[in-house]
Amino acid sequence: MSERSPVYGGYTVSAYFDLVRQGLLAEDDHVELLDGVIVSEPPMDPPHATGIEATGDVLRRALAGRAWVREQKPLVIGDSSVPEPDLAVLGGSFHDYEGRHPSTALLVVEVSDSSLPQDRLSKSRIYAGAGIAEYWIVNVRHDCLEVYREPDVAQRVYAGRRTLQRGERIALVAFPEVSLAVDDLLPRPPLRRVDD
């Protein structure tokens, strides 16, 4: 399977989970269902892994006792999408999802490098269509945070989009009193050699 290439199309959420129950898809297959298409996930490189850890740590500390941060787990959206966002901030606790996967979130975060086109196009449409109020892309490739807000559910787009740089802060839509430093969400920039 090539990087991020679709492998099968036209699946519903139910058919997708049937493939899991039948043993045709396993957890280590690293796939997601996006608008009816089963899409492969590329292997995670160190900056991507670090971005997930950094952002997850910051969100967990900032939202302790207020929300639950779920990492790389299914989010069932409509009849044809089961993305596994790098991070999802949910109300309640993990006990609320012992019998089902969540179908919405207060905030969804994708950490992006090679997956940037997919995260900007397909996933933003899926999350906007689900009415998720806030979607972040921790853009490892360009060392910034892309913030998407004001979902237009019918059009499946976010009306509000802005890019934040290091040195800036972001307040969460669901928790406006919580302000986070963009620097804390991004992996450290590579060190420059003296002769550069």
Listed by start position, the domains of the chain span 43-185
pLDDT in tens, 134-180: 999 999 989 999 999 999 999 999 999 999 999 999 999 999 999 99
Highest mean pLDDT among 12-16, 122-126, 184-188: 122-126
* Residue 22, amino acid: Q
Give the list of residues 6+ apart from residue 55 with CB closer than 8 angstroms, or none: 86, 87, 109, 111, 136, 138, 185
In sequence order, what are the residues at sequence separation of 6 or more whose Cβ sits closer than 8 angstroms to the Cβ of residue 96?
Answer: 90, 102
pLDDT number for residue 193: 41
pLDDT at res. 190: 60
CATH homologous superfamily of 43-185: tt1808, chain A (3.90.1570.10)
Measured distance CA(82)–CA(100) in Å, rounded: 12
The answer to whether 138 and 110 are in contact (CB under 8 A) is: yes
**What does pTM read for this prediction?**
0.88
